[in-house]
Homo-oligomer: A and B are copies of this chain.
Amino acid sequence: MKKPSIKDIADSLGVSKTLVSFVLNNRGDENGISKETQRKVLEKVAQLKYHPNFIARGLRLGRSHTIGLIVTDISNIFYARIAKRIEEVAAKHKYNLIYCSSGEDEFREIELIRMLRERQVDGMIISTTQKNGRIFSELKKEHYPFVLIDRNLPKLKANYCGVDNFSGAYTATDKLIKNGLSKIALLKISPDYLSTIKNREQGYRKAFKDNGLRINNKLIRTIDCNNIKQEVPVVLQELISSNDRIDAIFSVNNSITVACLEFMYENNIKIPDDMGLISFDDIDLFSFSIPKISAIAQPIEEIGEAAVTILLEEMDSKTNNNHQVTLPVKFIQRGSCGTIVEKQIKLSNN
């Protein structure tokens, strides 16, 4: 006993499929279907437990009412929170989400984009790992709606929604410097052509410059994004045993920071006395470690919300605008930015 289709309803009622379709789409009145007939159709629908087939409708209408979401890792709370908000907003507009993790793999990402297009998703939201934006240029040429989040490809001039990475990094680094710390390691993540990472590095560099300090390039390190837990301890060990022992860390994301914390605990390095630490990207954990970790907080939900909103607009209007949304970040001062600040906090707490 297979699932009933519109045809079954029509046949069993002796009317046409057209009529049934009209009634089902609430267009019975405007198409002059008598109330009585409409009632009968709906009755039959209930009786046969008919449910429309979205796939068939999608084929006919040329749209799937589905949005594709590609992030590097859905289990990173940063992306998980974005995903949640995107889903909420999309659901309000009757759109559903197919999500995929690229695992920070350029080629897999392209593969995923291809696959999502074959699935006829009406638009995509992507946190990209691409180095060059060729794939996106193609999409643009086809007027295919998409929005980049978090990571931008500035040359591309495509829809984008992210945060002011430069300022965030600048503020963080400046804060450390103002607290008397100057041997500040910058822990980046691979691949280092990502706009977010580059901008954060620029912020870091600018802060040094503005404070009249020279940068020691040995303190700028790149961690393999797929091997954080293993590499961070190695790198940190190096950084604290070398001649110019670091006195602070600016970490570009939450995963690296967590790995740093782990290292500190194990090696009994005290924050903030032995080591200053500020993280880009604020997570719950930073409020509960001792001391609490200062961080640059991103307006995560806003990113997701802005991204869907732009996408929905593009999908509707079929226009090809170029929205570039850069949201401000917030410096959350806790007790990890160096001894001076730490003492101030202690005082003001009493």
Which residues of chain A from 21 to 77 have a CB within 8 Å of any chain B CB?
51-56, 58-59, 64, 66, 73-75, 77
Check if A284 sits within 8 Å of B287, measured CB to CB: no
How far apart sit A75 and B78, CA to CA, in the bound complex (Å)?
Answer: 9
User: Which of B56, B91, B99, B118 interacts with A59 by CB under 8 Å?
Assistant: B56
* Interchain nearest-CB distance for A250 vs B (Å): 19
Does A114 sit at the interface, judged by CB under 8 A? yes
How far apart sit A261 and B289, CA to CA, in the bound complex (Å)?
Answer: 11
Does A139 sit at the interface, judged by CB under 8 A? no
Please classify the interface of chain A as helix (H, G, I), strand (E, B), loop, or mixed, using the class held by over half of its residues.
helix
User: Which of B55, B114, B285, B290 interacts with A290 by CB under 8 Å?
Assistant: B290
Which residues of chain A from 116 to 158 have a CB within 8 Å of any chain B CB?
117-120
Which residues of chain A from 212 to 238 have a CB within 8 Å of any chain B CB?
none
CB nearest to A114 among chain B residues? B51
How far apart sit A64 and B121, CA to CA, in the bound complex (Å)?
Answer: 13
Does A240 sit at the interface, judged by CB under 8 A? no
Check if A115 sits within 8 Å of B100, measured CB to CB: no
In the complex with contacts A59-B59, A288-B288, A101-B84 CB distance below 8 A? yes
Which residues of chain A from 241 to 260 have a CB within 8 Å of any chain B CB?
258
In the complex with contacts A56-B59, A96-B115, A119-B55, A75-B77 CB distance below 8 A? yes
Does A13 sit at the interface, judged by CB under 8 A? no
User: Which of B115, B118, B285 interacts with A53 by CB under 8 Å?
Assistant: B118
Chain B residues in 8 Å Cβ range of A265? 288
Does A80 sit at the interface, judged by CB under 8 A? yes
User: Which of B52, B55, B87 interacts with A55 by CB under 8 Å?
Assistant: B55
* Interchain nearest-CB distance for A150 vs B (Å): 16
Does A98 sit at the interface, judged by CB under 8 A? yes
9 A-B pairs with the lowest CB-CB distances in the bound complex, closest first: A75-B84, A80-B80, A285-B285, A290-B290, A288-B289, A54-B119, A75-B81, A54-B118, A75-B80
